[in-house]
Amino acid sequence: MKLIRQLGAGAGVTLPEVRVIGEDPVLPSVFPLGTMAAASAGALAAAVAAYAARAGQGGEEGPGGGPHTRGDLGAPDVTIDVRHAAVAFQSERHFRADGKAMDVWAALSGDYRASDGWIRLHCNFDHHRDAAVRALGLPPGSGRQDVGRACAGRRAVEIEEAVIREGGCAAAMRSRAEWLAHPQARALAGLPPVGVFRLSGGDGRASGTGRGETRSETRSETRGGADSGENCRGDGRARAGQMLGGPGGGLPAGAERPLGGVRVLDLTRVIAGPVAARALAAYGADVLRVGAAHLPEVPGLVVETAFGKRSCHIDLRSEADKLRELVRQADVVIQAYRPGALRARGFGPDDLAVLRPGIVCVDISAYGTSGPWASRRGFDSLVQMACGIAHENGDGLRPSPLPAQALDHGTGYLAAFGAVAALLRRAAEGGSWRVEVSLARTAAWLDDLGRIDGAGVRQPRVEDLLATMDSPFGTLTYVTPPGAIDGRRPHWTSPPPRQGEHPAAWAPPS
């Protein structure tokens, strides 16, 4: 799949070929969501196959920094099913706990008609709801009808800005043309869907011989829309042919999980970040989700996105040293706080590279880390509104969202892919690495994929893609993770834990 090769080139790695099963249209939309899902989940599977193959050839660095054992060589058979990947993008819609679906939307969340168009308010967290109510000049406890009347008399962008000033989350519906003319869209133009940068202040090689850098970050020279990367040489790129003796290799003989031993700290909430960490757990990574008792959660989502993870609580206001100790033993840190928020607490990428030379820092944001909206709060449904997707997916007269939280899930899988690509770069070149993705950049990637005649397509069948697992929350029905490597499918070996169930410590090696 050309898109997967392009993603690999943009991240500085050459990936094994991926066999794609099926095609669009899969979901009812003018956007090629099946292609998007297959490309992002397939890129992750290919990167994992490359990582496992390097392990099988006795590469110089194993998961967690330990040695590898040599396994059988040969090109891996990496597959991705388009329907399976698309259904995985709807995973929260098919999730059941004892047969009951979850409702993720709060009463005031939704689209409201403004005097000149539409505005979407995101009120799933109480403090965001309160900010929206204040911005509209309404008293606490106001209901949906009150909000509707207040929005009807004001311009959509005026409401958007007022809510943002109050610390809330909102987005006016823009057309594609309006978004492309916006300064934030221009700030994202030319960036790859997955940015992979080298950090100074740490060397990931066990031998300590990796190169340093004179700047805090060095961007990968290739872009997401660049050449496929099949003939890349001599540019520092982690090339499958150089590392593996060919375009990939089979999973090492006797290996239980391809990412076994890779330690991942999950400092995220809601969907995109948790999906990234959950995807890595499906390939065997040791994922520790770090939350805090005082931080709000979306009750159903915090369960649905937690398969294969452990969960601890750390209050950074008083227990920052606990997180530092976890970082010192981690391979990957995934965070989705607003840009700069963790840096202000001493946990920026450069800080993490000092704590743990060789760390891979994955940063997920709504609108990117540069431009006038870099610090703006955002969620999938808001980015769809702002970037023109909700406008174009329908008739343009009222918002029509995608039939999946595709920006969240796509960004999550791209983040997981970037993490594994950075691990490959670390193994080949040494150093500490930063991966950068955003919902808005993923939206631009989707826009670049073109349009299809899929608006009237029926929802795909899902029964053969579901599984059940017993848990503290009852019997859970969930969408299995997509992809396969040499016939082995990713899977989760443990149910979602209760929040804060585990100590703030890594599990001992099994």
pLDDT tens column, 460-508: 999 999 999 999 999 999 999 999 999 999 999 999 999 999 999 999 8
pLDDT for res 416: 98
| Mean pLDDT estimate for the chain | 87
- Write out the H or E segment, with its range, that includes residue 144: helix 144-152
pLDDT for res 77: 96
Mean pLDDT (whole number) for 56-77: 51
pLDDT for res 93: 96
Distances (CA, A) of 113 to 19, 367, 397: 45, 24, 11
Q: Which of 198-207, 237-246, 291-300, 418-427 is most confident? A: 418-427
Distances (CA, A) of 344 to 317, 337, 371, 376: 12, 11, 19, 16
Predicted confidence band of residue 396 (pLDDT cuts 50, 70, 90): confident
Q: Which of 21-25, 288-292, 330-334 has the weakest average pLDDT?
A: 288-292
pLDDT for res 339: 75
pLDDT for res 216: 42
Tell which wins on pLDDT, 66 or 417: 417
Residue 463 per-residue DSSP state: G
pLDDT over 70 (residue 209): no
Partners of 474 in beta bridges: 471
pLDDT for res 212: 30
pLDDT for res 213: 32
pLDDT for res 426: 97
Contacts (Cβ under 8 Å, ≥6 apart) of 336? 267, 268, 269, 270, 272, 273, 363, 364, 365
Predicted confidence band of residue 301 (pLDDT cuts 50, 70, 90): confident
pLDDT over 70 (residue 128): yes
Q: Decide the pairing of beta strands 263-267 and 286-291.
A: parallel
pLDDT for res 454: 94
pLDDT for res 338: 77
- Write out the H or E segment, with its range, that includes residue 365: strand 360-365
Q: Residue 510: how many CB atoms within 10 A of its CB? A: 7
- Write out the H or E segment, with its range, that includes residue 406: helix 406-429
Please check whether residue 281 is in contact with residue 263, taking contact to mean a CB–CB distance below 8 angstroms.
Answer: no
Q: Is the peptide bond before 76 cis (omega within 30 degrees of 0)?
A: no
> How far is Cα 122 from Cα 109, in angstroms, rounded to an integer?
5
Cα three-residue angle 246-412-57, rounded to 5 degrees: 20
pLDDT for res 41: 98
Please check whether residue 331 is in contact with residue 277, taking contact to mean a CB–CB distance below 8 angstroms.
Answer: no
Q: Decide the pairing of beta strands 117-121 and 170-172.
A: antiparallel
Q: Decide the pairing of beta strands 217-219 and 195-199.
A: antiparallel
- Write out the H or E segment, with its range, that includes residue 352: helix 349-355
- Write out the H or E segment, with its range, that includes residue 79: strand 78-81
Predicted confidence band of residue 201 (pLDDT cuts 50, 70, 90): low
Q: Residue 66: how many CB atoms within 10 A of its CB? A: 10
Buried residues in 211-231 as b, exposed as e (16+ CB within 10 A): eeeeeeebbbebbbeeeebee
pLDDT for res 119: 98
Tell which wins on pLDDT, 329 or 74: 329
Beta strands (DSSP E) in 209-294 are 217-219, 263-267, 286-291
Predicted confidence band of residue 145 (pLDDT cuts 50, 70, 90): very high
Tell which wins on pLDDT, 83 or 247: 83
Per-residue model confidence as pLDDT tens digits over 9-55: 999 999 999 999 999 999 999 999 999 999 999 999 999 999 999 87
